[in-house]
Amino acid sequence: MRNDNREWDEIRKMEMRVGVLKNANGSSFVRMGKTFGVAAVYGPKSLYPKFLQNFDRAILRCFYSMTPFSVMDRKRPGPDRRSTEISKVIKESLYPAVFLENFSRTSIDIFVHIEQADAGTRCVGINAASLALADAGIPMRDLVTACACGVIDGNIALDLTGDEEKITDCDLALACMPRNKQISLLQMDGNIESELVNNIIKMLLNGCDKIYEKQKEALKHKYEVNE
Amino acid sequence: MKREIVIPGEQIDCLKIGRGCFEENGKFYSKFFGVIDRKEDNFVNILPLNGKYIPKVGDKIVGIIIDAQFSFFSVDINSPYKASLPLSETQNRFDYNNKLNVGDIIHANIIRITDDKSIQISMKNGAFRKLVGGIVIKIMPTKVPRLIGKNGSMIENINNKTNCKTTIGQNGFVFVSGENEKLCIEIIKYIDKNAHEDGLTNKINEMLGELNEK
């Protein structure tokens, strides 16, 4: 058992909503434990300056940011090294899922904003971004779900909290398309025994399935409310 | 009949697929977050619930002129791409009483789309013209068929009861002019918001019924 009375392979409590922002083409809110954020999708829209346009496909742009009050010590607002990296990571994990070839010469912009951070912000970002893309009516092969994992005292722990992240030996984030179990992001910090890797990935894929069910529920719920 | 809602990547059981689906290893999946539209012979289309207008040749559209060049107009057609209307494709280029200007609203059709997505529209054929004396409202392009109804039944009903004239563009721009503009717009927006629901015709009739009582 862990600090917050979870099993080792249990995911934090999740809440997902779709269509939270009025002015965006698609938007979503995702909460995993104490981490939560919103994602907004604008586009496909015409892209300028013209040299950025791609002749036969749309380009995907992602902007990740955190509020200054999202962490214990004040985070300086504005882009920094870390957020630039996470923007790139989120974008590339969504890349294989979107039918970009349907919208040549356009851009699809994704904004991910983390309101409160307690580990696993990039996973929340990816989950929220893929929901927002689906909500915006952009054609996709599958939703993308993401989840993180660590090793504490030899136990594999799924979906770390901030406290656990400080004592873990490693932190492994994975994004996948659950239908075919295709992995689109695999990232790790720290050290780990090579025998454990397969078990960790298996556990992460199971975790992603659970998140996928939640995402499905959230999307279908949007149009049931009105009835 | 309950409408089935599907999410991207959800498997659909059917034999033939139409718009909004893709095939992978002999199985069919939905591309969109949308509603399944089943036709006879196990033929399936997915109607997306949201999305931008992607132009098709032959579509009749309502556009707003945003720029005038020496030999053509640029037209906003509610899509990621701008359309161009060459002077030679306008109704009558020497009719100075009816000449086009920036800000004018036009009804036209799409005649050509090149590979690099430059879109050419034309007003040459009979019914297309400049639209004056009304307002343009924007609805979701994916919900235009619902607004028109079967063989135009829905929009005809609205037009007759509110004494309005509407011009619907496939791109989601709707031009409204006439007596009860306000109610007409209200109803069109209601349809836009609730297009995925059943029994829409009855609700619209209710809203229109209130008008006649007043």
pLDDT over 90 for what percent of chain A? 88
CATH superfamily of B135-213: K Homology domain, type 1 (3.30.1370.10)
A76 DSSP assignment: P
The answer to whether domain B5-48 and domain B60-131 are alike in fold is yes
Chain A hits for B82, CB-CB cut-off 8 Å, are: 46
Residue A106: its pLDDT value, please? Answer: 94
* pLDDT, chain B, mean: 88
* Positions in chain A short of pLDDT 50: 227
Cβ-defined contact of B31 to A46 (cutoff 8 Å): no
Nearest beta carbon to residue B80 from set A46, A139, A177? A46
- pLDDT band at B213, cuts 50/70/90? low
Low-confidence winner among B26-30, B170-174, B205-209 (lowest mean pLDDT): B205-209
Helix A81-94 and helix A121-135: axis angle, to 10°?
Answer: 50
Q: How far is B179 from chain A (nearest CA, A)?
A: 31
Instruction: Determine the pLDDT at residue B16.
Output: 84
Q: Which domains does chain A have, with CATH numbers?
A: 14-222 (3.30.230.70)
Mapped onto helix, strand or coil, the DSSP state of residue A222 is helix
Phi, psi (rounded to 5 degrees) for B192: -60, -40
| Cβ <8 Å between B197 and A140 | no
End-to-end CA distance of chain A: 42
Asked if A119 and A165 count as a contact pair (C-beta separation under 8 A), the reply is yes
Report the amino acid identity of residue B208.
L
The phi, psi pair for A62, rounded to 5°, reads -130, 135
Give yes or no for a contact between A34 and A118, defined as CB atoms under 8 angstroms apart.
yes
CB A191 within 8 A of CB A222: no
CATH number of B60-131: 2.40.50.140
Q: For the residues B164-172, what does the mean pLDDT come to?
A: 92
Q: Are B51 and A106 within 8 A, CB to CB?
A: no
Which CATH architecture describes the domain B5-48?
A: Beta Barrel (2.40)
Q: What is the pLDDT of residues A80-127, one digit of tens each?
A: 999 999 999 999 999 999 999 999 999 999 999 999 999 999 999 999
Strands B60-68 and A145-152: unpaired
Contact, B54 vs A103, CB < 8 A? yes
Interface of chain A toward chain B, CB-CB under 8 angstroms: 25-26, 43-46, 55, 97, 99, 102-106, 134-143, 177, 179, 215-216, 219-220, 223, 226-227
Query: Rg (Cα) of chain A, in Å, rounded?
Result: 17
| In chain B, domain spans | 5-48, 60-131, 135-213
User: What confidence category does residue B1 fall into, taking pLDDT thresholds of 50, 70 and 90?
Assistant: very low
